[in-house]
Amino acid sequence: MKTKGQDQTALITGASSGIGLELTRKMLAEGWQVIALIRSGFPEDDTRIQKCLDAGQLRIFKADLTDFNNLKHALRQIKAAEVKIDLLFNNAGGSFPELSFSKQGREMHYELQTVVPYIIYMELKELVQRGDLKTIVNTSTHAFKYFKHFDPDTLEHPAVFKKLFGPYAASKLALSLWTQEITPIVANEGIRILSVDPGGNNTIRKGKNPGLPFYIKPIMQLFFPHPSKGASLLYEAALGETNHPSGVFLVQGKVTELKFGEHGRNLLETISSIYQREFTADGTI
């Protein structure tokens, strides 16, 4: 393992539930400073989390990541308050139960899981460059392995909606494709970037609609591992003994070839255009 210590800082989106919560717990237990970029709060009955909050080891910045005004405010706060980021985990996401759209008018999975991670990278890369590890991990999935066709032009406004294997999987494929495509750019910045499938995890929460096909929910509850398994895969991708090269897509810790790589350049250009047009103050990177 790479050397870890209290001088290391990780930023985790989606840190307050599921895989993100388990990753937060793991890193706090190892002495990491953790920046949580989240929409909802941490469990109040988690004494370790509360102690780390009181001690300042865990610092919270709240935002609805799909609301660009909200996100911009939170990112400005982070840049004003933090000195560096050694590891950036773009982990926020999930499978929604129905077709919905962000305040900017794009399909919600695409906005949250494809566009927003790029924005966060662009806005926080200077902090990442100040860190020792200079590593970004984008949480993806391998659910798109069943795709026979992929049309990036339908990502913003899908004609049809299918739980898990529709916009959710398509947006994660787009995330992994732009991660792969951007590799030469981040290499020039001294940054390593990966997309990682944390595998199937039982992330079902009481009172929450998981957005899963009806036949998958009981399978998940009975057979899928605790989210700490997925957190470990993200952690190992960033800090494990195998120093995976930038741009790769990892499934169960192994480099896996991406289909539809010919769409990577156009996807990256499209997302970069959204960032410049809708997020930067003056229209320039």
The answer to whether residue 284 is domain-embedded is no
Pairwise CA distance, residues 240 & 12, whole Å: 18
Phi, psi of 35 (to 5 degrees): -100, 120
The answer to whether residue 283 is domain-embedded is no
The answer to whether residue 117 is domain-embedded is yes
The answer to whether residue 2 is domain-embedded is no
Partnered with residue 196 across adjacent β-strands are: 139, 250
Q: 8: which residues sit within 8 A by CB, 6+ positions away?
A: 31, 32, 33, 86, 87, 131, 132, 133
The answer to whether residue 1 is domain-embedded is no
Q: Which two tokens stand for residue 181?
A: 């495509």
Contact 91, 14 (CB under 8 A): yes
The answer to whether residue 119 is domain-embedded is yes
Pairwise CA distance, residues 121 & 123, whole Å: 6
Residue indicated by tokens 């102690």: 51
For the stretch 162-212, pLDDT in tens is 998 999 999 999 999 999 999 999 999 999 999 999 987 656 666 565 666
The answer to whether residue 226 is domain-embedded is yes
Alpha helix ranges (H) inside 67-107: 68-81
Contact 26, 228 (CB under 8 A): yes
87 in helix, strand or coil? strand
Residue 80 has pLDDT above 90, yes or no: yes
For 46, the domain range is: 9-278
- Residue 227 has a pLDDT of 80
Pairwise CA distance, residues 186 & 181, whole Å: 10
The answer to whether residue 268 is domain-embedded is yes
What amino acid is encoded at 269 in this protein?
E
pTM of the complete model: 0.92
More confident residue, 38 or 146: 38
| Angle made by CA atoms 262, 267, 272, in degrees to the nearest 5 | 145
Domain harbouring 216, CATH code: 3.40.50.720
- Residue 282 has a pLDDT of 52
> Region 263-270: what's the mean pLDDT?
98
As for how many domains the chain has, the answer is: 1
